[in-house]
Amino acid sequence: MFEMVQAASRSFYIQSPAKIGVMLGEDNEVSLLDSGSDKDAGRKVKKILDAQGWKLKAIFNTHAHADHIGGNRCLQPQTGCCIYSSGIECAFARDPLWEPAFLYGGNPPRYLRRKFLMAQESEVQPLEPEALSPDWKCIPLPGHAFDMAGFRTPDGAVCLADCLASEATLAKHQVAFLDVEDCLATLDKVKGLQAGDLRPRPRRCLPGHRAAGRAQHRQGARDSLPHRGHLRISSQLRADPEAPLRRLRPCHDLGVARARGQQGAILILLGLRTRTKAELRDNMLCWHR
């Protein structure tokens, strides 16, 4: 963990629980794609950059989940770097209380305000086109989060954020999506990286929670979370809408908030496709068609 690996001529990544992209620009200035999960990650990243003699100019947060923005607070005061994130991810990253509040659906209890779900605040700006080098490309990847974005650098590295996940990540966290249909559309887009609308072929794909590789987007897109998770959970929900809650391990602090989010995403999809509706009956929330 926390070793820097070269991905393309001027692109690197730091292997950590959520990969951190390091893109070398002119005059030894670098931009990060995400910043790690907490201040310890931030410290380790700073040490790596210092060892290379590189100055941190900007952080581009792919989305506002705590494991991707947690190093912001440590790195920004030390380096004066600018931090950018796209769309509503900017608001979530600026005020990280939104994340547990959104998932929980209310004022989140203390156990949901820990670093796994809630990063520390940082000064994040909206990602406008002029913030990016003209030869970079921002790739919208919605579904896992509202406005998740990937990035393509001129040397052919493509950061895919969390639209793909490894088998180990799937086994540990099960599914993680905000909008199933957006997730599926994003996977179609990622599969097209080689032959579709994002030519030329990437030299190296960098998913946040999956091994880096040239063809990872194709393999990952076939078996990744939304396809499998959608099929499994939507069939369960047809028979038993509370099933995801019962499958959670006891005392899994984050499980309740996460399950509510997943269940909401699936129910929205079922509502769109099968006209499933939620209704209060005798003070019980019921779903019916």
Q: Which stretch binds Zn ion (CB under 5 A): 19-27, 61-69, 164-172, 252-260?
A: 61-69
Longest dimension (CA), the chain: 67
In three-state secondary structure terms, 117 is coil
Size of site (CB under 5 A) for Zn ion: 2
The residue written with tokens 């979530």 in the block is: 92
Q: Cβ closer to Zn ion: 54 or 102?
A: 102
How far apart (Å, rounded) are the C-alpha atoms in residues 89 and 61? 8
Q: Cβ closer to Zn ion: 99 or 162?
A: 162
In three-state secondary structure terms, 186 is helix
Q: How far is the CB of 160 from Zn ion (least distance, A)?
A: 11
Residue nearest to Zn ion (CB): 65
Q: How far is the CB of 245 from Zn ion (least distance, A)?
A: 21
Q: By CB under 5 A, tell whether 99 contacts Zn ion.
A: no
Q: How far is the CB of 114 from Zn ion (least distance, A)?
A: 16
Does the CA dihedral 225-231-234-236 come out positive or negative? negative
The residue written with tokens 């599926």 in the block is: 184
In three-state secondary structure terms, 206 is strand
Q: By CB under 5 A, tell whether 38 contacts Zn ion.
A: no
Q: Cβ closer to Zn ion: 99 or 241?
A: 99
How far apart (Å, rounded) are the C-alpha atoms in residues 217 and 74? 31
All residues at 6 or more sequence positions from 111 whose CB lies less than 8 Å from its CB, including other chains: 253
Binding mask 152-171 for Zn ion (x = CB under 5 A): ----------x---------
Q: How far is the CB of 27 from Zn ion (least distance, A)?
A: 32
Q: Cβ closer to Zn ion: 158 or 270?
A: 158
Q: By CB under 5 A, tell whether 65 contacts Zn ion.
A: yes
Angle CA 152–209–42, to nearest 5: 80
Q: Given the rule CB under 5 A, which residues bind Zn ion?
A: 65, 162
